[in-house]
Structure 1
Amino acid sequence: MKMRSDQIVRGIILLGLLLVPMIVPSEAGILGKKETPGERFRKGIEKIRQACESRKLDPGEVCGEVSKLKPADPLATEEGRFAHSIKIPDPVSEDSGYKPEMTSQEYFDHLCKTEAGEFIYRTVENVEGIYMMRPRKEATDEELEHLYALEDPYGYTTGTSAEQAFGFIRPDGYRYVETPLLEVRVPSWKKRYRDSSLSAPPPAKAKYARYFGFDARNMKSMKMEYDRSLRSRYGFTWRGISRPHDREMGIVGGELIILELASNDVVAVRRGFIKSSNVKNLTGVWWLKGQVCPGGLGRAEHGGDNFVLKVVKPVPSKGEHYGSR
């Protein structure tokens, strides 16, 4: 898959992130509105920074890591650049419909009503495996309480790519899941519950990892192998939505996009939004407890397991062992 030039897209996305603190707070101040999530976040970060600077740290002590984080760069990786280059049939509008008099909740409700949802252009039957084109990294606690550090907190789920594969490989799911070549670190405490193949180093010319064999009972039944080529015909990726007012109001949108790999044709899109809940930490942000739409989804479903399985439908199971061949 050929990646497109990203310079213009990178500039638009990063400009949107940087302009937020410059635009909305002044509007809020003029209108006498209550403090925005963005204003609270910046005040909290400054308090953390000053608290760390006001005392002498012990040798090796780490202080205020959340205040040192930078906004996510969606185009820092090849997978990110490709995700943001995809043209979908029903894109979000550059004008989100934000009005200065809106509260965070009103703006969130507006986005949920006008932009969130599932957009399925076709479904596919009898699919053996899926390509997870842009596996997410596990977020730190500091990233989860930072307004800008995660590109798409709506679609974020805990766990590494290997853990996400468990949601797709099951008796009513796929036979295998493929990912780009990643550095996978299995914690020592977890190794007793995982097959050794999940932490094996890749051979020199490998490009992809393939997970298979999970029987939905024993975690050790999940295996992983490396390959130079893909078997999957379909894949999915994700991207965050960046517009001037969203983050200032404590809101972030994300899109999950399913593609036919040979043509890059878009098969389906799921778009959702998350609003940071009013938590009591200094930053006012904790994404794992945010309000989401479409509503009624558990945290695991934000990653899109059921949506992908509904659109790109697995081969019906006959109870056989799900091996790699």
Structure 2
Amino acid sequence: MGRAGKLLQLLGLSLWLAGCGGGEDTTRKAAEKVAPPPDDPAAMTPLQRAQAGKALWEEKCRTVAGEKIYKTASDIDGVLLLKVRPKASTNQWADPNWPGAAFAIEDRVDDYIKSFLGFEMAMGAFGAPRPITKDDRGFINTTYSPGPKQYPGYRYVDVADPSDGKRYRYRLGIKVVQGSKTGELRTFLEKTLAPEPSPLYGVDYEDHVIPEDRALGVASSTVRVINLRTGEVLGEMLRYAWSTPASGANPNPWLTAYKCPGHAMGSGEATRKFVDQVLIPRKDQ
């Protein structure tokens, strides 16, 4: 082999070695790109944490979230609310550990009580009424509307007041709007001391704060319908919600969180629309 050939061989060897080195570097960089995120959410990048949180939420929706009805009861006049959703603030809507996060847009305080008393309706195209199905529910209307309703609410709701330990009964009362020249009627929440006996069935909720879930932006809560005499659970709804942390673009992330199960219409009345599948309200005659 001549001098020129040997030079070509050496050049080829040098290029091959360079190629090997480059290949190893490329392989290492590729491995780094596909490396799994750290197990600790605090060590994750914001994108990794969002991806892990959404994956966890999707898994919970697929495997454990949803409505379970074990037994139903019909012609129910009233229920006892063991707890009422309290007021919420902007600070809570941004707090990753807020207990009520899974039901952030649920009706609260008096509106929560009223949601059990109103009747359900749904509007379709051009404002025309549309059918209501289990998978396509409507919204709860608490305005005055005479006549029997196809989907009525409960006739009364009892609530125990923690401030005095007494049980109060709430109904939708009707009064003439002050100053109305036409006698316009409006509903209001009427509160009286509840008589005995107390309702047979109660509605309760339990908000969960699971640190490993909350670290990924995932919240959960369970609603239960209970026979208060026997303690039997007639039905329960487990909801999961997921959102990314508060930011300038989304300062109140729990209000825009993904939820399962949820409702496209009347999203603030999810508890009522689960309970009335278990405890079916008595219809007007």
Same fold (TM over 0.5): yes
Task: Tell me whether 1:138 sits opposite 2:87 in the alignment.
Answer: yes
Shift of 1:27: 2.6
1:295 and 1:220, CA in 2 relative to 1: closer, same or farther beyond 3 A? closer
- Pair 1:123-2:72 in alignment: yes
**Could you say if the C-alpha distance between residues 166 and 106 of structure 1 is closer, same or farther in structure 2, counting changes exceeding 3 Å?**
same
Aligned match of 1:153: 101
Q: Which moved more, 1:238-247 or 1:123-132?
A: 238-247
Partner of 1:176: 156
Q: Which amino acid aligns with 1:275?
A: W
> 2:186 and 2:105 mapped to 1: Cα distance?
19
Cα deviation, residue 221, structure 1: 3.7
Q: CA, structure 1 residues 28+307, in 2 after alignment: closer, same or farther (shift >3 Å)? A: closer
Relative to structure 1, the CA distance from residue 305 to residue 103 in structure 2 (aligned partners, 3 Å threshold; closer, same or farther) is same
CA positional deviation for 1:111: 0.6
Residues 208 and 230 in structure 1, CA contact (< 8 A), matched pair in contact too: no
> Does 2:3 correspond to 1:36?
no
Deviations 1:242-297 (A, max 9, x none): 33421011010110000001111100000111112565339965211111111444
- CA 1:31–1:292 in structure 2 vs 1: closer, same or farther (change >3 Å)? closer
Equivalent residue number for residue 228 of structure 2 = 261
**2:7 is equivalent to residue 27 of structure 1:** no
RMSD of aligned C-alpha atoms? 3.1
> Aligned runs of 1:51-130 on 2, under 5 Å?
103-130=52-79
- Cα shift at 1:230: 5.0
For residue 165 of structure 1, give the secondary structure of its aligned residue in structure 2: helix
Specify the code of the residue in structure 1 equivalent to 2:226: L
> Percent identity, aligned pairs only?
20
Q: Secondary structure at the match of 2:215?
A: helix
Distance 1:218-1:168 versus aligned 2 partners, 3 A rule: farther
The answer on whether the counterparts of 2:70 and 2:234 sit within 8 Å (CA) in structure 1 is yes
User: Greater strand percent: which structure?
Assistant: 2
Q: When the two structures are superposed, what TM-score results if normalisation uses the length of structure 1?
A: 0.56
Question: Which structure's CA Rg is the greater one?
Answer: 2
Q: Which residue of 2 aligns with 1:301?
A: 269
Distance 2:243 2:235 in 1: 27
Q: How many residues align?
A: 208
Q: 1:248 to 1:284 in 2, by over 3 A?
A: farther
Q: CA deviation at 1:157?
A: 4.0
Hey, what's the Cα distance between the residues in 1 that align with 2:105 and 2:247? Answer: 22
